[in-house]
Structure 1
Amino acid sequence: MITKTNKPHQKHAQLARPNLGDFGRNELAILGAPCNVIRSLAERWLKLLDGKWKVAYADADHKNDSPSNDLLEGASLQFTDKISHKRIDFRQKNVTHLSNRILFNNEDLVLINGNHFIGKKQIVIIHPDKPLNEKLDKLTDVALILLSEHARIPEFMEAHLPDIKNVPVLALQDEARIISFLTIFLNESVAPLSGLVLAGGKSTRMLADKGSIAYHGMTQRAYMVEMLGRFCGHVYLSDNTKTGFETIEDTFIGLGPFGGILSAMQSNPNAAWLTVACDLPYLTADTLDYLVKHRNPSKLATAFLDSDSKFPEPLITIWEPRAYPVMLQFLAQGYSCPRKVLINSDIELLTAPDVSEFRNANTPEERDEALRFFKSENHSF
């Protein structure tokens, strides 16, 4: 008789998950004061942040203390739970009504009314009109404590938060320091940069492995990995062959570079990915340095205009974590072109210092031309 092994049933694939709250990647729930005070604070802070960041506001309607129906000045998106229905106000275009996380995907920070919603991190206001003793379960990761006039941190809160001495405490009216805290919080939330060398092509036109060609005294794979390593904490090859380098196997089969980028994002959805094609022998570290220094983490991606100055160049690009769900949406609609994603998204578009570096080598003739160029004593590299 054959018996079945008692293995636990696994319904879903074991995927790495991004660090998200209920609304977005960065959340600060404000609680401890009446809702009208929280709304007024959010409105004031949005003005003082001066439009540098895209900040959303989430709130709920109230029977007796209803906030204004107007979109807060400075907010790029506003979500209101109207009890009987949900309402979304926003200034940005082409937002799809899929879910909170998709809806807030473009936001750098979500300020939340913590009296009604839970946030990953919290700003706690010590206010006489709103005691906190019944809301301690919401204080899971306090980032900042604000004291209203004459207020002190209650003993029950000190007992609930063992690391409270490490939490900054500011006066509720000290707007300069509050804005400084928010700015530092946002800057520290910028995703770390990982590198991906797109080397998984079949080299059909070259009739040989493009990654093994030695333009610079080492294989092109090794050269690109070394160059990206100057700017990234970790560098991987998008290559299913065994090359001795750290690789990310293509899990989105048959999609070319699009699949390689998605595979990297799937492996680590909390990193930003600097992706570079392997067949760019003329590309220099100076150009990558320019790209990294002009990175805009508030956008979906940072990319160069191509050599014709018509479209974004998708294979020398920094993709932010928010690009992952967007690319999956494009894939769901039947598109697997990274350039199409860039053209139809909010990106930082740069003019490269030298577009001649974007020349690739896909044929034996182009390979030989590049080899002659780098052997010449007169080239400018």
Structure 2
Amino acid sequence: MKPIHVLLAGGLSRRFGEPKAFAMWENKPFYQWCKQAMGGKVVILSHSELLDRFKNNGEVSVIEDIDPFKGKGPLAGIYTAMERQDGDCYVVLACDMPLIRQNTITALKKSMSLETDAVVIVANGQVQPLVAVYHKRLKPVLYEQLCQNELKLSDFLARIRVTYIHAETIGAKASEFFNINEKSDLEKIKGGL
């Protein structure tokens, strides 16, 4: 299966106070850590205010959600990637997980099969729908849900066939899935959680 790597970097980062994609961790922006973990070519989904900032950082594959779904969250980003990039499956990662490792993403991709619609990580007892692989056949489901303004990822997962992979079964550390929401979270990762 041909994977398309999708980095979701379009959140408003209200609690963090600035775009999280560009927050620094060990001298590199969060999004670059995530991009590195994904390996291969990555398409970045963001919003119009950040497009130039990504391009000024040398990124060429940066797009924003398509109309009429702009500002509709992660589901719109995943749908847009499916609409704009031709692939068999879409490896999705949120830009606020700078501790994620390439081995984890590689193991996640290897877990995808034709029999399942999605493979989603479970870490620390929590489902991580933004560390996942989604099959292209889900595009109509995403479209329908977006048209009905049903934007919860949990509702989407309830409608499809998901294989849940527990982080420890693929050798992933629980800390990899810690997403940074507030500036104080930076201190937590510096302290090793």
TM-score, scaled relative to structure 2: 0.83
Aligned pairs, how many?
A: 179
Aligned counterparts, 1:186-197, within 5 A: 190=1, 192-197=2-7
Larger fraction in helix: 2
Question: Match of 1:258, as an amino acid?
Answer: L
Q: Does 1:349 align with 2:159?
A: no
Q: Which residue number corresponds to residue 62 of structure 2? A: 247
Query: Would you say 1:334 and 2:149 are equivalent positions?
Result: yes
- Evaluate the alpha carbon distance shift between residue 348 and residue 217 of structure 1 in structure 2; reply closer, same or farther with a 3 A threshold: same
- What are the within-5 Å matches in structure 2 for residues 96-135 of structure 1? none
Alpha-carbon RMSD across the aligned residues, in angstroms, is: 1.9
Take 1:199 and 1:223, find their aligned partners in 2: how far apart are those partners?
A: 12
Provide the identity percentage.
23
- Which residue of the partner structure matches residue 294 of structure 1? 111
**Partner-residue secondary structure (3-state), 2:143:** helix
* Structure 1 residue 306 displacement after superposition: 4.3
Distance 1:269 1:330, change over 3 A: farther
Given the alignment, which residue of 173, 180, 183 partners 1:364?
A: 183
**Match of 1:324?**
139
Equivalent runs, 1:65-214 vs 2, <5 Å: 190=1, 192-214=2-24
Q: Distance in 1 between matches of 2:145 and 2:123?
A: 21
TM-superposed CA distance for 1:269, in Å, is: 4.7
Residue in structure 2 matched with residue 163 of structure 1 by the alignment: none
- The answer to whether the 8 Å contact 2:46/2:65 transfers is yes
Amino acid at match of 1:221: Y
Which structure 2 residues correspond to residues 41-60 of structure 1 after superposition, within 5 A? none
1:27-76 per-position Cα deviation (integer Å, ceiling 9, x unaligned): xxxxxxxxxxxxxxxxxxxxxxxxxxxxxxxxxxxxxxxxxxxxxxxxxx
The 2-side partners of 1:333 and 1:207 are apart by 30
AA aligned opposite 1:237: I
Corresponding letter in the other structure for 1:348 = T
| Structure 1 position 324, deviation (Å) | 0.7
Q: String of CA shifts for 1:183-219, please: whole Å, max 9, x gaps.
A: xxxxxxx3x1011111111111011221112213311
Q: 1:278 to 1:327 in 2, by over 3 A?
A: same
Cα distance, 1:292 vs. partner?
A: 1.4
- What per-residue deviation string (whole Å, max 9, x for no partner) do you get for residues 231-271 of structure 1? x4x31111132212121211121211111111111102544
Partner of 2:130: 315
Q: Larger Rg: 1 or 2? A: 1
The residue type equivalent to 2:70 in the other structure is: I
Structure 2, unaligned runs of 5 or more: none
Residue 322 of structure 1 aligns to a residue whose secondary structure is helix
1:281 & 1:225 partners in 2: Cα distance? 9
1:135-159 CA distance string (max 9 Å, x none)? xxxxxxxxxxxxxxxxxxxxxxxxx
Q: Which residue of 2 aligns with 1:186?
A: none
Work out whether residues 269 and 324 of structure 1, in 8 Å CA contact, stay in contact via their aligned partners in 2: no
Give, in whole Å, the separation in 1 of the partners of 2:7 and 2:133.
12
Greater Cα offset, 333-342 or 259-268: 333-342
Q: Mark the runs of 5 or more structure 1 residues left unpaired by the alignment.
A: 1-189, 374-378
Match of 2:97 among 265, 280, 284: 280
Match of 1:235 in 2: 42
Q: How does 1:206-225 map to 2 (within 5 A)?
A: 206-225=16-35
Query: Does the residue aligned with 1:288 lie in a helix, a strand or coil?
Result: helix
